[in-house]
Amino acid sequence: MKKNELGLPLEIEYCKKCNLINQRPTSINEYFHLPNSKQTTVEFTDGVCSACNFVDIELNKINWKLREKELKNLCDKYRKNNGEYDCVVPGSGGKDSVFASYILKYKYKMKPLTVTWTPNLYTEIGWNNFQKWLHKGGFDNYLYTPNPVIMRKLTRESTKNLLHPFQPFILGQKTFALKMASLFNIKLIFYGEVSGKGGKKISHNVKSFSDIKDQQGFEMDPLNGKKFSDVFIGGKKVEEYLDEGLSMNDLKSYKPLEIEKIKNEKMDFYYLGYFLKWIPQEMYYFSQEKIDFEANDVRTEGTYTKFCSLDDKIDGFHFYTFYIKYGHGRAMSDAVSDTRHGHITREEGKSLIKKYDGEYPIRHEKAFLDYISMDKVELINLCNKFRPKHLWDKISGKWVLKKKL
């Protein structure tokens, strides 16, 4: 299939089972993400996306009893009986981290340390759920707030250069869990959902990070052997930030844990979603029951749900900018998952996506613009600069997708 200069298929296609657009990129190594980086996109076979096939196998062909037994063995192997923590669960207090930490602690009798890289700008509901997670769930937690002046600066750069406001958060959060594990001499780290559901090309037999070979964004050494000063944050070389007067100390929170340490300390990272059936909606009901998890009282902008990704005021812009670049917004994110899990039909998903996808997130607009020191005109012009030509048409002053769902 023909692709544009950024690797996106020139012909737009929607999955005939879940409505996913074929422009959706799989993961990229963010330390080498530049404005002209080529993306790889989700695979389609006979009109069906790889994520649909993934979930289909998960729902119908996996022996979950056997998988749970594997989890029990893994826990037995790592469980410490001297009162120390035996695993790390990174999270924000959203439904997935609530489920993971709760089940590991109370069902499998582990002693998880929960760790949190702060959102850019906490929402009230995000903060409340975070507190409930710890207070009602009974967990030890380290909340880390990297220097917000630096995080803002990096977020502005990643928005300006890549239209990717979430990148500094992603980089920091990913590496923070490992650093905390190393600090506390913990070898076992649990992530939640397996990445295959995001449409990434990952096999069903992947249970740990180290099983994923040759896949960008999943490198054990994300620096690919380079010096930290030679990689990029927000599409700009670390060295350049240093030349501008930032210190290595200002940026160290974004520097990954050294590969030698990971190897020497024999750390391993597992997806809990490999061992336990991971159904997002059920995670929500579970969290509601166990810690009184709150959904929003209003629909989240850009989608029809009330309980996904609620903690950060810039979440809405993460999804909005994704929509600009790939024609894939927040409603699509929720609807494809709900369709694959059978909560809604393909037709229902379609009309929800048509109705809400790409809705501009006005609620936290001011907070976001202040945060990245931009005005609205600047942001809108920037967005328009990032619209791929094969995706968008401007009709009577309005931007529309060339091929509609």
Q: CA 258, CA 117: separation in Å to the nearest integer?
A: 19
Of residues 8, 20, 186, 238, which one binds Zn ion by CB under 5 A? 20
Q: How far is the CB of 55 from Zn ion (least distance, A)?
A: 8
Q: Which is nearer to Zn ion, 96 or 338 (CB)?
A: 338
Considering the complex, what minimum distance in angstroms separates the CB of residue 42 from Zn ion? 8
Minimum distance of Zn ion from residue 392's CB (angstroms): 23
Tokens in use for 396?
């009577």
Amino acid of residue 62: I
> Which residue from 8, 28, 42, 49 is in contact with Zn ion, where contact means CB under 5 A?
49
How far apart are alpha carbons 179 and 196 in whole angstroms? 25
| Closest separation in Å from C-beta 77 to Zn ion | 36
Candidates 8, 14, 15, 179: give the one binding Zn ion (CB under 5 A).
15
Q: Are 38 and 228 in contact (CB under 8 A)?
A: no
How much is the CA Rg of the chain, to the nearest whole Å? 21
CA separation for the pair 7, 114 (Å, rounded): 37
Should residue 353 be labelled a site residue for Zn ion when binding is judged by CB under 5 A? no
397 burial level (CB within 10 Å; 0-12, 13-18, 19+): exposed
Q: How far is the CB of 87 from Zn ion (least distance, A)?
A: 33
- Distance of alpha carbon 148 from the chain centroid: 20
Amino acid at 391: L
> Does the protein bind Zn ion through residue 18 (CB under 5 A)?
yes
Residue 42 in contact with Zn ion, rule: CB under 5 A: no
Among 17, 105, 200, 387, binds Zn ion (CB under 5 A): 17
Residue 332 as a binder of Zn ion (CB under 5 A): the answer is no
Q: Which of 213, 155, 199, 171 is nearest to 32 (CA)?
A: 171
Stretch of 46-54, 107-115, 219-227, 270-278 contacting Zn ion, by CB under 5 A: 46-54
Per CB under 5 A, 98 contacts Zn ion: no
CB of 381 to Zn ion, least distance (A): 34
End-to-end CA distance of the chain: 20
| Binding positions for Zn ion, rule: CB under 5 A | 15, 17-18, 20, 49, 52
